[in-house]
Amino acid sequence: MSIKITVAIAATLGVTTVAGAQTARPTLADASPYVTKMNGGKPVDCTASKVKINFGSGRGEGYCQAVLADLTKSWENGVDIPNLDVLFPADKMPAPPSTAYELKGDKLGASMAEYLQRHPNDCVKRFSTPPEVHHSAFTGNQLEHTDYEHVNAFRFVCTNGGTRENVTIGPGNETLIYPGSLSLASANIDREQVEFSHQRLYLVAYYFKQEAFPLIQAAFLQKFGAPTSTTQDPVQNKLGAQFTRTTMTWKNGVSTIVLSEMSGNDLSNSQVVMVLDEIYRDVQKLHDTKVINAILADM
């Protein structure tokens, strides 16, 4: 019997939470809430000598031990399940580097708590749902919400579409929520991607139509000054027409901005990516390791 209750990304990466020390080693008491959910919400006490359950086959003690085994394995891998979705206050997080790049008020290295103060209704808020084990009479034990990323993940990624809800306070101190378009240098943005590692913002990317590139390019030159480097790359479309696409890079020793007139191989779209160098390198290193391991496993 195997009941997976861990979040896959956290278990794979073996990460620890920002809070530092983990909670104590899991016990049968910690397994009780999960088996209770599997039991349709009827309380289950895994510490009892005889555990009564209303589902599955076999004795309830076996389900409790299976859940405890998964909890313990996750704990040994550095996954602090009770704190997967604990959002730490901004003052409990490392301060962002003073020289880190900032765009539209979002400074690289800022805490997720601070980010959510500025953007209380974007994709970051909608993403973290605790993992739950449920029992189905038709398909057996099911783990739900594992496809959600959790706030303490080593790599938390989410994307905002072309609109984001804006929040303001009305005349009677009521909260007013209204849709707003994502923009950069007054140009409309198709989507925005944000990435956090252990609740620290390390990547912000904007994707937009190529015709907006000259406007955004001029705004970046004014805001950040001359780039560290600029390249001009010849490209052609499917009809053979020749074009030149510009890539500009700014580096300050702590963070990097890359403004690209071509997004991937798409001539009609551009992008800008802003990263905090140290965390970005750590994430890329781990990503490359996972790819290599997957290749070796298939040999």
The model carries a pTM of: 0.70
Q: Residue 136 corresponds to which tokens in the numbers above? A: 């189905």
- 80-114 pLDDT, tens digit per residue, is 666 777 889 999 999 999 999 999 999 999 999 99
Helices 60-76 and 28-38 cross at an angle (nearest 10°) of: 120
Sign of CA dihedral 176, 177, 179, 182: positive
Averaged pLDDT for residues 5-13: 35
Give SS3 for 48.
coil
Sign of CA dihedral 270, 276, 277, 279: negative
The whole-number pLDDT of residue 9 equals 32
- 214-254 pLDDT, tens digit per residue, is 999 999 999 999 999 999 988 887 788 888 899 999 999 99
Sequence-ordered list of residues with C-beta below 8 angstroms from that of 296, at least 6 positions apart, any chain: none
Q: What percent of the chain has pLDDT over 70?
A: 73
Sequence-ordered list of residues with C-beta below 8 angstroms from that of 96, at least 6 positions apart, any chain: 107, 108, 109, 110, 200, 201
- 132-162 pLDDT, tens digit per residue, is 655 544 445 555 555 556 788 888 898 988 6
Residue from 35, 38, 132, 25 nearest 79 by CA: 25
> Bridge partners of 90?
none
Sketch the domain layout of the chain as residue ranges: 1-86
Task: State which amino acid sits at residue 3.
Answer: I
Contact present, 133 and 146 (Cβ < 8 Å) = no
- Residue 125 pLDDT grade (very low, low, confident, very high; cuts 50, 70, 90): confident
Percent composition of the chain: helix, strand, coil (DSSP 3-state, to 5): 30, 30, 40
